[in-house]
Amino acid sequence: MKTRSNYWQILPYLRPQRLTITKALACTIAFTIFWPIIAWLIGETAKVIGNGDLKGFAQIAGFSAIVFLVRGTVQYGQDTLMAKAALIIALNLRKKVYAHLQQLDLSYFEKSQTGDLSYRLTEDIDRIGEVVNKFFHQFIPCILQLIVVLGYMVYLNWQLTLGALIIAPVMALLIGWFGERLLIYSRRSQDRISDLSAMLAEVFSGIRLVKAFAAEEYEINRFVQEAEQNRRAKYLAEQVKALQFVIVGFLEAMSILLLFFLGGWQISQGNLTGAGFISYVAGVALLIDPISITTSNYSEFKQGEASCDRIFELLAIQPSVVEKTGAIALPHVNGQVEYQQVSFAYQPEKPVLQNLNLLVHPGETIALVGPSGAGKTTLVNLLPRFYEPQTGNILIDGINIRDVTFSSLRRQIGIVPQETILFSGSIAQNIAFGQTYYEMKDVESAAKIANAHQFITQFSNGYQTWVGERGVNLSGGQRQRIAIARAVLLNPRILILDEATSALDSESEALVQEALERLMRDSYGGLRQRTVFIIAHRLTTVRRADRILVVESGKIVESGTHDELLAKGDRYACFYAQQFS
Ligand code: ADP
């Protein structure tokens, strides 16, 4: 496990806030100067009260009121300025991490757990913000307070101060040792918490499966075990923390006893007055808070270090598919697609596509058929560069897709997946997904082409009906038509359709099929065809395709029209017999 601190990596995020931090620190310094004044005032008050000097007391009380008023003002400045800087730093870090995550490619998200990612973006970043805030707002003021008050105490009586400080290095060593222990336990407990939320996200998104397999009991057990591990890890961290307070507290009590003993001795030697000693004790009392705050800050900083590690570890991940520097915008394409000697593997030892060659003419409809796991999805996923082939090239209209920007490439490729994902938002927002500006009339005509207009307008809120989480439930067929409307609105030259394997009722099926056929035509029902890749599961689809490619073990083993391939009586004929007849 990595132990080196990543805190220094926060520095670039502090820089833009340097002006606010400097103002806050100026307030802090002003605030600190008041500590020895307060210690002195306490000694003076004790003196005038001891002498029964009421006039003297009134003067001191008046002066004290001014001192506390000014001190309160600078304290307000220190608190608000620092909170402001820390919150902006956390916000900037959160924006940066989120934008970074959006740049990462699919293969990263397939390996990571969504619960863990959201934990990092929320809890971990909040903790870093708190660390920054506490560092400037508590830790530095406390250290300054310690220095100034100690200085005042040395000025009052250095022998006494020396004696009281004997125990300090021992204390510092012990605090350091406990801090290290605590860091290890806190890392462990944070990992456990994010395991727990990752597990929850997984279970709730797959709740249908849990129900279908009557696996509730099994899931409850799994959850209980995970929650128990979490409890244990947290309890261990709490125990270490509690022990730390006991030991530090005991050492503090011992140093106070020592102080009284030394104080009595110094007064008996005539080196210190009674008022001086009271002022001195007030100084010691003023040391207690900063010592205990810096001690607890130290443990919090150690805990925050784990969060910091997890954030900067995330920021250090490089996407495996990157946009070339100086990438050009892919011009509006005709839709010719060419795969040249393309080989691809998700894991190096398991090749998925091998030396694949394919030329697709503009406007051609290609149906991909073959057994599950043959590589059909992989083949089409290389086109929008969701993954990068290890060898070979893919060209669109003769332009290598590696040379163009992601956005210009992906905007020309429409994808209708098997399962439509709806985000929380209105139906209109879902149809216009990814478009910052859209016209309602375009959304409506897209929905009409996609056979979705009718069911949408039946909702009382029409296009403004809320879908996604906490929204209305749409049937499988309705969701598919929303996905088709999305693609219609995008109006791409190239389409990738992943036909749903699950059967719809015959009416829905007919509506979806009709919508798909309209989508395959160019520009809102024009006569030109788009270039279409369909991962086909239905006979009507393969029959209508211009060309059928039979994919097996990452290779195109047969290609031709339905009739040609049937007449050939080989792989397709066999596949057809198994799947469709
Ligand atoms: P098909 O679409 O023909 O069913 P896929 O392209 O989905 O086939 O899968 C081809 C092979 O690649 C399979 O062996 C599958 O297990 C593997 N595979 C697919 N997606 C991934 C992934 N994201 N990571 C690792 N292996 C994958």
Split at pLDDT 50, 70, 90, the class of 2 is very low
Percent of the chain past pLDDT 70, that is, above it, reads 93
Closest CA to 114 of 101, 103, 126: 101
CA dihedral 124, 127, 129, 133 (to 10 degrees): -170
Could you tell me the two tokens for 542? Answer: 């393969």
In this structure, what DSSP letter does residue 398 have?
A: T
Residue 581 Cβ < 6 Å to ligand 1: no
Residue 110 Cβ < 6 Å to ligand 1: yes
347, 390 contact by CB (below 8 A): no
380, 559 contact by CB (below 8 A): no
Number of helices and strands in the chain (H, E): 22, 12
Could you tell me the two tokens for 39? Answer: 């210690």
Q: Is pLDDT of 284 > 70?
A: yes
Q: How far is residue 69's CA from residue 305's CA, in Å, rounded to a whole number?
A: 37
Residue 264 Cβ < 6 Å to ligand 1: no
Split at pLDDT 50, 70, 90, the class of 1 is very low
Residue bearing the CA closest to ligand 1, atom 10 = 375
Ligand 1 center to 377 CA (angstroms) = 7
Q: CB 138: neighbour CB atoms within 10 A?
A: 17
Q: Does residue 574 sit in helix, strand or coil?
A: helix
Ligand 1 center to 507 CA (angstroms) = 32
Closest CA to 50 of 271, 268, 272, 274: 274
Could you tell me the two tokens for 191? Answer: 């990992």
Q: ∠ CA(142), CA(148), CA(152), 5° rounding?
A: 140
* Segment 217-225 mean pLDDT: 89
More confident residue, 262 or 498: 498
Q: ∠ CA(190), CA(193), CA(197), 5° rounding?
A: 140
Q: How far is residue 525's CA from residue 541's CA, in Å, rounded to a whole number?
A: 19
Q: What is the pLDDT of residues 415-461, one digit of tens each?
A: 988 888 888 889 999 999 888 888 999 999 999 999 999 999 999 99
Q: Which of 352, 419, 499 to mutate to test the pocket of ligand 1 (most atoms within 8 A of CB)?
A: 352
Q: Does residue 551 sit in helix, strand or coil?
A: strand
Q: How far is residue 356's CA from residue 133's CA, in Å, rounded to a whole number?
A: 56
What's the predicted TM-score (pTM) here? 0.72
Q: How far is residue 108's CA from residue 381's CA, in Å, rounded to a whole number?
A: 15
Helix (H) or strand (E) holding 345, with range, is strand 337-347
- Under 8 Å CB-to-CB from 577, ≥6 apart: which residues? none
